[in-house]
Structure 1
Amino acid sequence: MPTDDDLYDLINDLDRQSYKAYKQIQGRYSFPGFVLLIDYVQGDPFASPSRLRVQVPQVSQQGKAIAGFPPELYQNRSRNIALCDYLTRQFEQVANDLRGKRGSGKSGLIAIASPGQEVLERTSVLVSDERVEARFVVGLPAQGRSILGRQAAELLCDDIADLVEKALFYRNLNARAIKRHVETVEDSDWLRQQLTAQNLVAFVPNGAILPRESGVSDKPLGANAGDNVKGVKDLKDSVVPFQSPKSLEVSFNRPNAGSVPRMG
């Protein structure tokens, strides 16, 4: 399998050639710690961006941790979806930090499916006992319709390697935040499964902030409020958390976070 050095040399050789010459880089490349797959190469800098994947083994052939995610974080469907969701968000955050304008059109773009507040089953990141795989798009750099070889080599060989290390290696992530995310999603799924047995259609936990910042925001009202000017009371202090009437209050003992009262 060609290596990252082979890809680097190939891209530099394409410098200033017609953009369609990028088609030559399609294929698989072995990087230290992961494999880069260039599945589709865009035909124009203004067209839909190129589609790439990275595959990171959980452990090396010598048994050394690479991605290294503990199996308990993805041991069931609920936890697997939660971990993939967390890694998608982490990947997007790091990609946004790395992304820079590198020419015409979509040049320099690095993007993955952007999740909202919902935790859903997606194919942007897949986790198994064997590997972690992330699927994303990249805008290959060009000036007009001429290849920018040096910028493309930096993007594919340096930035993506940095992105993989920061977003898909367990040792470089916040283990406590991952555990909390996975357990919260697992508890949420478990609670939804209790609705039918309890003859309920929904529930709202005590302490929930129900109003949103605006009609186009998922964030709770006051989430980004700072100190208001002219002595006006801080918006966060003026938001009233939800409190269930005692007559409608029910309690569930969640698998991870224990009991919490709520209206059902």
Structure 2
Amino acid sequence: MARDNHSDRKNELRTTLTDLDGAGYGGYKRLRGTHRVATPNGTPVTLSVDKVQSDPFAPPSLVQASIPFSETGIATTLLDVDISDIPVRDHLTRRIASSLREHNPSGGKGSGFLAMDTPGQQVLDRSSVVISVPDDRVTVRLEVALPAQGRRIRGRAAAALLCEVLPTVVQDALLDLDTDALDAVELAHETYLDQEFLRGELDHLGLVGFVADGSVLPRAAGNSQH
């Protein structure tokens, strides 16, 4: 019977990490490159490990996880505007940040964790999510603190983090978009367009800003987002 090469590739990363269990932390450098994992519902995820931290106390490793953009269900028409895909990417970044808070392990260095910059109130041109319509890809850029016990690799914990937690975050944030979630993406897009239009009107109207009806201006503190 012919071997399922795709299934084999999905298991390669887990096998490598399991084999590394207990090795010196530098062994994680073997992860550098491209791997295949899958979400719980079976969607293939391309995982690129771009930078591997030198020890448990160094800055986290850098990875990219990508899936077909068409799998998200988000209309490509939301990207066909002069301002590009800023509001869609910003909204997806917020979904990923929320999913990370829900699914990240809580065991500290022994379990490792996934991270990305959590957005504030501003809608910005972020590099945390990249969308390429011609390639039908959406890519998430993350930091990964690879699990350690002292300066030894916790390979099974790393396998759980990269082969289970990360794909679950991808599915939760990018694939499990029901009607309400897709409507929220469209609302984020429309709100951003409205803001950009209003900002464009300020100069020739001789205004310096605008405040929407019903706005609540005071915040809990000067450094608060709420």
TM-score, normalising length from structure 2? 0.87
Q: 1:54 pairs with 40, 49, 65, which one?
A: 65
Q: Post-superposition shift, 1:77?
A: 4.6
Q: Post-superposition shift, 1:103?
A: 5.1
Q: How does 1:1-264 map to 2 (within 5 A)?
A: 3-32=9-38, 33-59=44-70, 66-78=71-83, 80-102=85-107, 104=109, 107-129=111-133, 130-169=136-175, 171=177, 174-219=181-226
1:102–1:142 Cα contact (<8 Å) kept: no
1:20 alignment partner, SS class:
helix
1:50–1:137 Cα contact (<8 Å) kept: yes
Distance 2:176 2:84 in 1: 15
Distance 1:43 1:82 in 2: 35
Q: Post-superposition shift, 1:4?
A: 2.5
Q: Post-superposition shift, 1:58?
A: 2.2
1:19–1:44 Cα contact (<8 Å) kept: yes
User: Which structure has the greater CA radius of gyration?
Assistant: 1
- 1:140/1:23 Cα in 2 relative to 1: closer, same or farther (>3 Å)? same
Counterpart of 1:167, as a letter, is A
Distance 2:176 2:203 in 1: 37
- 1:77/1:139 Cα in 2 relative to 1: closer, same or farther (>3 Å)? farther
1:68–1:170 Cα contact (<8 Å) kept: no
- 1:114/1:77 Cα in 2 relative to 1: closer, same or farther (>3 Å)? farther
C-alpha offsets along residues 95-147 of structure 1, whole Å, 9 cap, x if unaligned?
A: 11111234538x51211121111001110111231211110101100100111
Distance 2:172 2:184 in 1: 15
1:29 alignment partner, SS class:
strand
2:99–2:172 Cα contact (<8 Å) kept: yes
Consecutive unaligned residues in structure 2, runs of 5 or more? 1-5, 39-43
- RMSD of aligned alpha carbons: 1.9
Distance 1:136 1:166 in 2: 15
Distance 2:9 2:199 in 1: 47
2:109 alignment partner, SS class:
coil
- 1:120/1:206 Cα in 2 relative to 1: closer, same or farther (>3 Å)? same
Q: Percent of aligned positions with the same letter in both sequences?
A: 37
2:46 alignment partner, SS class:
strand
1:102–1:141 Cα contact (<8 Å) kept: no
Structure with bigger RCO (C-alpha 8 Å, 6+ apart): 2
